[in-house]
Amino acid sequence: MANTDQITGFRPVKYDCRLVIPCYKSAGTTVTNDMFVGDPVAFSGTGDSATGNTGVTVSTAGDGNPILGVVVGIKTQPTHLDRGTWVDGADAATVFVCIDPNAVYEAQANAAVDVTEIGMNANIVLTQSGSRTAGTSGFEVNATEATTNTYQLKIIGLPDRADNEINTTNNKVLVVVLDKQLVTETGTTGV
């Protein structure tokens, strides 16, 4: 059975819920600044002057670009009740970010990943813009793995489900953040 191509970003499957914090997404100027549940984020270098919440921006794909965490929720925006899973790039908002350094995330790979690639390192990749209609992130795991310790993710497994055929395009993988903003350690080399 072929895997369904359903990109939804990163979904935490194992994490400490006490390590979800409110963060500030500042107003941008274009749709390219949209933020979705499932997007990996990084410190923006600013914060919310009214609440003191940490400022975040969507992470940049590629090795050497550390990740703070993943957006797991959006605070209700009274003027936009139809936007429960995304924030318009032009709007400021409060987003909830999982910053658990040990969190395990499930995400779709942009190509086939086999069991022999468990333990390898990978980067995030934005393969399509987030969907305002579906409210889903456009991020996936880049299936070009390596042993490079500056990559953003480590592949730790593959979900064992009927809807996830291993070593087939669009299969889901389990990953942890390897290049973390909150932990100042060098990532581990892939195996």
- Provide the pLDDT for residue 31: 60
Is-contact 155 118, C-beta < 8 A?
yes
Q: Give one word for 181, left, alpha or beta, with left for phi > 0 and alpha for psi -120 to 50.
A: alpha
Q: In the 8-state DSSP scheme, what is residue 146?
A: B
Evaluate if residue 9 carries a pLDDT over 70. yes
Q: How confident is the model at residue 190 (pLDDT cuts 50, 70, 90)?
A: low
- Provide the pLDDT for residue 188: 65
Residues 6+ apart with CB under 8 A from 81: none
pLDDT tens sequence across 91-123? 999 999 999 999 999 999 999 999 999 999 999
How confident is the model over 47-51, as a mean pLDDT? 92
Residues 6+ apart with CB under 8 A from 158: 113, 115, 118, 164, 166, 171, 172, 173, 174
Q: How confident is the model at residue 67 (pLDDT cuts 50, 70, 90)?
A: very high
C-alpha to C-alpha distances, 44 to 11, 57, 75, 104, 153, nearest whole angstrom: 22, 5, 19, 23, 20
- Provide the pLDDT for residue 110: 95
- Convert 46-99 into a string of H (helix), E (strand) and C (coil): EECCCCCCEEEEECCCCCCCCECEEEEEECCCCCCCCCCCEECCCCCEEEEEEC
Q: Which of 35, 12, 34 is CA-nearest to residue 95? A: 35
Helix (H) or strand (E) holding 143: none
- Provide the pLDDT for residue 78: 86
Give the CA dihedral 63, 27, 105, 160, nearest 10 degrees: -110
How confident is the model over 9-24, as a mean pLDDT? 93
Evaluate if residue 2 carries a pLDDT over 90. no
Evaluate if residue 34 carries a pLDDT over 80. yes
pTM for this structure? 0.92
How confident is the model over 18-28, as a mean pLDDT? 91
Which of 124 and 7 is assigned the larger pLDDT?
A: 124
From the CB of residue 173, how many other CB atoms can be counted at a distance below 10 Å? 25
